[in-house]
Amino acid sequence: MNKTKRLEILERLRADNPEPKSELEYSNPFELLVAVTLSAQATDVGVNKATRKLFPVANTPEAIVELGVEGLKEYIKTIGLYNSKANNVYKLSQILIEKHNSQVPESLEALVSLPGVGRKTANVVLNCAFGWPTIAVDTHIFRVSNRTKFAMGKDVDKVEAKLEKVVPKEFKVDVHHWLILHGRYVCVARKPKCGSCIIEDLCEFKEKTE
Ligand code: SF4
């Protein structure tokens, strides 16, 4: 895909949604970190349902530690992989208290050293909580980037590197939201809704639907 098309795609996505936000509900960096950690292989809707009950009771590292792993499980047991997620959230809360003055660190290196926090989670936290121009490639972004030929790559790291290279600075903070939302609601996995897609004329997917 050429530069002109990419730019037009980004401009249309921005015009359609000038201030995109994560669909996860949170009110501070710690809540965001917990919500993103819980969202691996789960839906944002399912995570929000659980955190709406959890956060009023525990939304600081101290309160999570106070709640304990078993207490935490009670709130998140509707979410897939909740046993290991409860352990990770408990342990990362302990580390935040011990090493980071109970704050979420604004550093990729420090974030990825926390239990259950991979590069994608860290990038989401840096982007949404601190406004970094990071691009966290998830399954939706991977699919949309390859299908449209906007930024092709065999794995998420390659797509991330390609997006880093081809997305102009002014779009970097928001591009991951636009691509996630596009993949979640329009360019869906099984049958993309090409007929109602605002970038249909620019997309280079060969098997577009009606
Ligand atoms: S035209 Fe179809 S395949 Fe291309 S981005 Fe839109 S929904 Fe996805």
Q: Give residue limits of the domains in the chain.
A: 3-20+135-196, 29-130
Q: Return d(Cα 34, Cα 22) in angstroms, integer.
A: 14
**pLDDT score, position 41:** 86
Taking residues 81-85, report their average pLDDT.
95
Q: Closest Cα to residue 90, out of 78, 108, 75?
A: 75
**pLDDT score, position 210:** 72
Q: Which of 49, 77, 99, 120 is catalytic?
A: 120
Measured CA angle at 144 (ends 84, 163), to 5 deg: 85
For the chain, percent of residues with pLDDT exceeding 90:
95
pLDDT > 90? residue 48:
yes
Tokens linked to 162: 């390609």
SS3 204: coil
**pLDDT score, position 109:** 97
**pLDDT score, position 90:** 98
User: Best mutation site among 16, 144, 180, 200 for ligand 1, i.e. most ligand atoms within 8 A of its Cβ?
Assistant: 200
Domain 3-20+135-196 has CATH 1.10.1670.10: yes
137 C-alpha to ligand 1 centroid (Å)? 18
Instruction: Name the fold adopted by 29-130.
Output: Endonuclease III; domain 1 (1.10.340)
Active site residue 120: yes
Asked if 3-20+135-196 and 29-130 have one fold, the answer is no
Active site residue 206: no
Q: Which of 5, 49, 91, 138 is catalytic?
A: 138
**pLDDT score, position 209:** 87
pLDDT tier, 136 (very low <50, low <70, confident <90, very high otherwise): confident
**pLDDT score, position 29:** 97
**pLDDT score, position 157:** 92
What would the pLDDT profile of 104-121 be if each residue is shown by its tens digit?
999 999 999 999 999 999
Q: Kindly tell me the burial class for residue 122, based on how many C-beta atoms sit within 10 Å of its own C-beta (0-12, 13-18, 19 or more).
A: buried
Q: What is the DSSP string of 108-173?
A: HHHHHTSTT--HHHHHHHHHHHH--------HHHHHHHHHHTSS--SSHHHHHHHHHHHS-HHHHH
